[in-house]
């Protein structure tokens, strides 16, 4: 029986050990250099694909592997041990780019895109946010106009994770009238004429490339349409549920990484002749961090179980995302405080995580949007 039963089994434990070894061998020795360089090697996708990490939760005929929500939590926890949200976001960007294709796309499009990405031979990105739109998805302005056997795209997207290196981009476009009823999804290959990209410099997530995309008369085959025309909004919303649960999982995992680093430092650091952890104020900080982590982790696991049963409690997912990102902001702040000067120097995991906290409370739907959506779902 798993040490974390009842949600986890020995199968989850075996996956944890496999991913942990992979992280220790391929990522941990290099992550600081990758972060400073602003990128990690494309070869890492192939290595992760060979391990099966990229295929978890995708259909076996497309090269995927069966899994439940707890397998994904395990992978997130192990990747988070190196303390780099950019690594997790960049390596796993297919996790938000491919689900709409799998759920709505025809067989030809699925086989064109998904197997290559799951093998790590190609990179996939999701492009929804726009320079003047942000969370207002229903009013996006990028258009795709049918012209014979093609769609012609005009507009731009921004804050796109893996936007510079993506070979396949799942793009939200307007093919119909105003509002959610006129939105479609279409796959744009990275080498299409009319697509240009500009990298964005960020507060955190340095080793994850983030880009603004420009579509200037960009022609894409009509066969790249994901599902039916003007029916993409539902696919976007369904995708957001999974993304928000994943963001909560990331936030909790990085909170634990902060606690682990702060605890190790407090045990080793000597102040005025005694270990730092001998100070009551430090022990209380550590307990406060642990308390918040355990509360939000219990909520995450309960919701993961409900998803496993076929439920999607949208209000709870929104509130969990907020609770988890607030937990992360607290734990990162306290960890840096406990580490003192060492926590302000690059190379400390908590320093990097501290810079990365806000992206999780903004991405996938800002905290304020989550509150409003939860209120509507709860009938407030």
5, pLDDT greater than 90: no
Q: What is the pLDDT of residues 153-163, one digit of tens each?
A: 999 999 999 99
Omega cis (within 30) before 6: yes
3 state DSSP class of 26: helix
Nearest by Cα to 219 from 170, 148, 282, 320: 148
361, pLDDT greater than 80: yes
Domains recognised in the chain with CATH numbers? 10-118 (1.10.540.10), 124-230 (2.40.110.10), 234-378 (1.20.140.10)
Nearest by Cα to 37 from 337, 372, 346: 346
Which residue carries 């709409």 as its tokens?
100
pLDDT at 133: 74
Name the helix (H) or strand (E) containing 235: helix 232-268
Report residue 121 as tokens.
Answer: 């031979």
| Average pLDDT, integer, range 123-134 | 91
Nearest by Cα to 97 from 122, 67, 71: 122
136, pLDDT greater than 90: no
**Within its chain, how far is the Cα of 257 from the centroid?**
17
20, pLDDT greater than 70: yes
Whether 17 is a known active-site residue: answer no
| Contact partners, residue 276, CB within 8 Å, separation at least 6 | 265, 266, 267, 269, 270, 282, 338
pLDDT band at 1; cut points 50, 70, 90? low
Beta-strand runs (E) in 267-368:
270-271, 274-275
Q: What is the pLDDT of residues 298-321, one digit of tens each?
A: 999 999 999 999 999 999 999 999
Q: What is the pLDDT of residues 55-91, one digit of tens each?
A: 999 999 999 999 999 999 999 999 999 999 999 999 9
242, pLDDT greater than 80: yes
- Given 77, 78, 229, 243, which residue is catalytic? 243
Q: What is the pLDDT of residues 200-209, one digit of tens each?
A: 999 999 999 9
Kindly list the distances between the CA atom of residue 364 and the CA atoms of 168, 176, 292, 317, 319, in Å, as whole numbers in the listed order.
20, 24, 22, 12, 13
CA–CA gap between residue 89 and residue 101 (Å, rounded) = 19
């Amino acid at each position: 029986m798993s040490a974390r039963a009842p949600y986890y089994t020995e199968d989850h434990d075996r996956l944890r050990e496999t991913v942990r070894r992979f992280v220790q061998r391929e990522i941990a020795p290099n992550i600081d250099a990758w972060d400073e360089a602003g990128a990690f090697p494309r070869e890492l996708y192939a290595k992760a694909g060979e391990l099966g990490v990229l295929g978890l939760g995708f259909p076996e005929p497309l090269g995927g592997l069966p899994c439940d929500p707890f397998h994904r939590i395990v992978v997130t926890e192990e990747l988070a041990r190196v303390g780099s949200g950019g690594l997790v976001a960049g390596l796993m960007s297919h996790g938000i780019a491919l689900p709409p294709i799998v759920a709505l796309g025809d067989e030809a499009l699925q086989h064109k895109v998904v197997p290559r990405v799951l093998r790590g031979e190609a990179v996939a990105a999701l492009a929804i946010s726009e320079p003047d739109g942000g969370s207002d998805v229903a009013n996006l302005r990028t258009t795709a106009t049918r012209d014979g056997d093609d769609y012609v795209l005009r507009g731009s997207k921004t804050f796109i994770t893996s936007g510079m290196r993506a070979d396949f981009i799942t793009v939200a476009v307007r093919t119909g009238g105003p509002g959610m009823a006129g939105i479609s999804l279409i796959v744009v290959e990275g080498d299409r004429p009319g697509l240009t990209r500009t990298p964005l410099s960020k507060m955190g997530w340095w080793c994850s490339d983030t880009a603004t995309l420009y579509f200037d008369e960009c022609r894409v085959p009509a066969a790249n349409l994901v599902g039916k025309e003007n029916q993409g909004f539902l696919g976007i919303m369904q995708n957001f549920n999974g993304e928000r649960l994943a963001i909560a999982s990331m936030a909790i995992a990085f909170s634990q990484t902060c606690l682990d680093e702060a605890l190790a430092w407090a045990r080793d650091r000597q102040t005025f002749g005694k270990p730092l952890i001998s100070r009551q104020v430090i022990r209380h900080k550590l307990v406060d961090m642990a308390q918040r982590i355990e509360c939000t982790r219990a909520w995450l696991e309960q919701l993961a179980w409900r998803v496993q049963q076929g439920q999607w409690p949208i209000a709870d997912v929104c509130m969990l995302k907020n609770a988890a990102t607030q937990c992360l902001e607290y734990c990162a702040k306290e960890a840096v405080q406990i580490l003192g000067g060492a926590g302000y120097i690059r190379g400390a995991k908590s320093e990097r995580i501290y810079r990365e906290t806000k992206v999780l409370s903004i991405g996938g739907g800002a905290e304020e949007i989550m509150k409003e959506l939860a209120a509507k779902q709860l009938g407030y």
